[in-house]
A and B are shown apart, each in its own frame.
Chain A
Amino acid sequence: MSDVTTSTGFLGKVWDLANPTRFLRFANRLIPVLAIITALLFAAGLYLGFSAPQDYLQGATVQIMFIHVPAMWVAMMTYSIMSISAIGSLVWRHPLADVAIRAAIPIGAAFTFLGLVTGSLWGKPMWGTWWVWDARLTSVLILFIIYAGLYALSRAIDEPTTAARSLAVITLVGFINIPIIKFSVDWWNTLHQPASISSLERIAKPALDVVFLYPLLTMALAYSFLFFTLHLMGMRNEIFRRRIRSMRMLSARAADKGA
């Protein structure tokens, strides 16, 4: 992705992929490679993570960080990718962008869910409570609700083009709203939560030592590659689903004519 700015050739290639058949060939070749890289990265990340020493403040629970923080990063990355796809879908009517949004929603929701659950499991031994209405946690919960709403919407509309437009619009409206929501939740939080949280915050993000940084970054890479693998698989499924749908309609029309 590094040569986006340097060559128009890259954009041209992306445009070529708009052809679903070409995309499928590309995906079929890429998915196994990505899957293997993902597996290797997970193996390395887990090894590094479990061989890391215990943190003097958090003890062994620092292990949870290695799966919690990457889940959150990928959850946010997914929403950004969806927003970019939404622009692609609305401005250029790029058919793959539609497919990309739809395929990303359940994956993003799953990573957000994992971030919330592992965060909760980390919070209990560290803060003594499963959940605090802290600004960051609340924002993530709202992000999860947005994902859930988008998922419900994507299930509710059958017709692919209508669904794509609706999903793209709501994704973008949500994206525009995210800074506002973040700002308002921060405001609400400083009003309702006195200093008690700031001491918790310090525990939550200590200056990371290298022994923790490497496993964390490896796991983050592993999560990202897992996302790309799953996303490509989801897009491939979605293309198949659309083909089957259009074939069924074609055959229904043919049967209608025959009758």
Chain B
Amino acid sequence: MIALLKRDLKLAFRVGGGALTGVLFFLAVVTIVPFGIGPDLNLLAKIGPAILWIAALLASLLGLDRLFQQDREDGTLDLIIMQPHSMTATVFIKCLAHWLASGLPLILATPIFGLFMNMEPLAIAAVMATLLVGTPAITFIGAVGAAVTVSLPRGGLLLAVLILPLVIPVLIFGVTAAYGAVEDPAPFTAPFLILCALTLFFSVLGPITAGWVLRNSTD
């Protein structure tokens, strides 16, 4: 299991791996927003948390279709399916590796993008905390979509369409919690805890379902 984690991480950080591309995509989306709505710094500060969340959501969807596809192309997937370990655990590890390689860099890059958005330090910290808790949920639920679309040549777009409605709750509570930290009357703890619960729930549901689909996809 550790070996699988190491292998996946090494592949991701290699040149051409998805890790850097995700951050660049994140940067591109954040940069585009002021062109769309104008460079009003007050407005940007107000919608900053939402923009960062949406950009992070899109960036984490971007690489998801490669989660199992690469392994399928070079035959590793068949080996993984044949090995005696639990498929759920394997998928969990693969999700973890994917998140470490593509989710974590996004979170580390958030402070810089937060400055572009003219956000206060507290707001940036809140967005980082919610992203840290929330983005794994996107990866876990996305694993189901990735498992289903693994054999499709152009599964990436389809994956996004299938998964986006399912991650709306994550987005809602992530953004709500981020605003809750900044705006006074709004609560922070409640949405933040619900976000944690969502991530835990999906970390069970996602790997079990995705593992089942993968095991049954090749027979």
Contacts and interface: CB of A to CB of B under 8 A. Distances in A.
Interface of A: 142, 145-146, 148-150, 152-153, 156-157, 162, 165-166, 169-170, 173-174, 176-177, 180-181, 183-185, 187-188, 191
Given A185-B168, A185-B172, A187-B176, A156 B158 contact: yes
Contacts of B191: 187
Nearest to B201: A180
B76 interface: no
Interface in B141-189: 141, 144-145, 148-149, 151-152, 155, 158, 161-162, 164-166, 168-169, 172-173, 176, 186
B213 A184 contact: no
A162 B158 CA distance: 16
Nearest to B186: A191
A145 B164 contact: yes
B161 A183 contact: no
Contacts of B213: 165-166, 169
A157 B152 contact: yes
Nearest to A184: B169
Interface residues of B, number: 30
B127 to A, nearest CB: 17
Nearest to B169: A184
Given A152-B158, A191-B186, A180 B172 contact: no
A170 B198 CA distance: 18
B86 interface: no
Contacts of A187: 172-173, 176, 191
B217 interface: yes
B216 interface: yes
Contact of A169 (B161, B164, B198, B209): B209
Nearest to A172: B209
B205 interface: yes
Do most interface residues of chain A lie in helix, strand or loop, or is the interface mixed? Answer: helix
A180 B216 CA distance: 27
A166 B158 CA distance: 12
Contact of A184 (B144, B168, B201): B168
A166 B148 contact: yes
Given A149-B158, A149-B162, A181 B176 contact: no
Contacts of B148: 153, 166, 169-170
Given A156-B158, A185-B172, 5 more contacts: A153-B162, A170-B145, A173-B205, A184-B169, A187-B172
22 contacts: A146-B165, A149-B161, A152-B158, A152-B162, A153-B148, A165-B213, A166-B149, A169-B148, A169-B212, A170-B144, A170-B162, A173-B141, A173-B144, A177-B169, A180-B201, A181-B165, A181-B166, A184-B172, A184-B194, A187-B173, A188-B172, A188-B176
B172 A149 contact: no
Contacts of B186: 191
Contacts of B166: 146, 173-174, 177, 181
B188 to A, nearest CB: 13
A148 B161 contact: yes
A180 B205 CA distance: 13
Contacts of A169: 144, 148, 209, 212-213
B151 A162 contact: yes
A188 B177 CA distance: 11
A180 B169 contact: yes
A175 to B, nearest CB: 11
Residue from B148, B151, B213 whose CB has the most chain A CB atoms within 10 Å: B148
Contact of B168 (A142, A148, A152, A176): A142
